[in-house]
Amino acid sequence: MANSVSQGRVPDAFTGVIAPMYTPIHQDGSLDLAGTAEMVRWLAECGCVRTVFARSGMGKMFTFTMAETRLFAETVRRALPSRMGMLLGSGGEWLNRDAGGHADEGAYISQAIEITNFARDLGCDGAVHVLPAAILPRDGESHHDLVYRYYREVHDATDLPLLIYQPGGMPEPYRLNPRLLERLVELPRIAGLKLSTAEDAVFDPLADVVRGAPFALICGHEGYYAQGLPKGAVGVIGQGCNGYPELLAAVERRHGLGDREGAARAQEAVWDGLKVTDGLDSSVALKQYFGRHGFGIQPWDRGGKAPYDDAVVDRVQAAIDALRTPYRRELGLAPMGCVGAER
């Protein structure tokens, strides 16, 4: 199968505002499939989200079983408008992650290949794979050789474009450096990198490796988007892509118009959006915010935080609505009416 990367360009689905969608669940922790469709509807009706990233870090990807991954992805795919792209977090199960355990190497890689090919058959645009801190190197193998071997094995077993994901907090031995990224991008279906950092010292050396190549360098920290775009970034994945994507779309638009100062001002608004949920579990608070706008998404999360009281949600709603409104006008998007909370 030929893909856009092999043809020398970055696919549209790997650019712009990419929402790492939250995972709607019931209070008992089980998947809420009706809420999942509502979450997709919210992102679609925002009007400026290009792609959804299902089973994301924001969506607690490491809590998913294989069966849940399939069911969740199928639900997202059915609900997604044809104009929007879809990425799927495609690593294997690492359900004991928070307890400090590691996955069995053979099972983890086999599952990663299985889910990647499932994503291909489902019609996803790409599969996202976190650097494999779930597994340990073999005797005599360096961590970087393990990282390369993991991506090589998945790459050779599929024809779907793959995106590397380096989250914040990744253990140092597994982190990318320029030499490792050079090795990885020699694999033709390694199509992009979600790099979660706001530090020039981390971003710049890796950006230098892929500058000018048909490779999707994606800012994984939304607060860095205006800085990353001039360095070759083509997209952004972060909390705000769920809750206030208009701000990030404005950063991109203003940058494209050559308005660096305007992009910087929009970026300041993004930081203001992040401050709204300081001290809160954003997954819970923003699900409650979506509910205030009439979307049937329950206020539960697998992180275990209880829903916030009305006073907290009132504050979140007022602040985020005030941030979003002028940018929706700038982008020519219709107002999103608020039905208010059911009390």
**CATH number, domain with residue 89:** 3.20.20.70
3-class DSSP assignment, residue 314 = helix
Q: What is the mean pLDDT of residues 86-91?
A: 98
Q: Residue 278 corresponds to which tokens in the numbers above?
A: 């300081």
- pLDDT averaged over the chain? 95
Angle in degrees, CA 176, 189, 102, rounded to 5: 50
**What's the alpha-carbon Rg for the chain, to the nearest Å?**
19
Report yes or no on 3 lying in a domain: no
Instruction: State which residues form the domain around 298.
Output: 12-330
3-class DSSP assignment, residue 126 = strand
| Overall number of domains in the chain | 1
* 89 Cβ contact list (under 8 Å, min separation 6): 53, 54, 55, 56, 57, 59, 61, 64, 69, 127, 128, 130, 165
Pick from 268, 240, 238, 264: nearest CA to 252 = 264
Q: What is the mean pLDDT of residues 115-134?
A: 98
d(CA 321, CA 22): 19
> Which of the four pLDDT bands, split at 50, 70 and 90, describes residue 3?
very low
Report yes or no on 4 lying in a domain: no
pLDDT above 50 for 211: yes
Report yes or no on 274 lying in a domain: yes
**Residue 150 vs residues 123, 129, 259: alpha-carbon distances, Å:** 23, 10, 41
3-class DSSP assignment, residue 303 = coil
pLDDT above 70 covers a percentage of the chain that reads 96
Work out the burial of residue 19: count CB atoms within 10 Å of its CB; fewer than 13 is exposed, 13-18 middle, 19 or more buried: buried
Report yes or no on 2 lying in a domain: no
d(CA 30, CA 166): 27
d(CA 59, CA 222): 16
Report yes or no on 342 lying in a domain: no
**Residue 93 vs residues 96, 156, 292, 313: alpha-carbon distances, Å:** 9, 20, 34, 34
Q: Residues 155-187: pLDDT tens digits?
A: 999 999 999 999 999 999 999 999 999 999 999
> Which of the four pLDDT bands, split at 50, 70 and 90, describes residue 336?
confident
Pick from 220, 213, 169, 175: nearest CA to 193 = 220
pLDDT (0 to 100) of residue 338: 53
Q: What is the mean pLDDT of residues 49-71?
A: 98
pLDDT (0 to 100) of residue 337: 63
Q: What is the mean pLDDT of residues 292-305?
A: 96
d(CA 40, CA 59): 13
Chain Cα centroid distance, residue 337: 26
Looking at this protein, which amino acid is placed at residue 185? V
Report yes or no on 240 lying in a domain: yes
Report yes or no on 339 lying in a domain: no
Report yes or no on 340 lying in a domain: no
DSSP letter string, 197-210? ---HHHHHHHHHHH
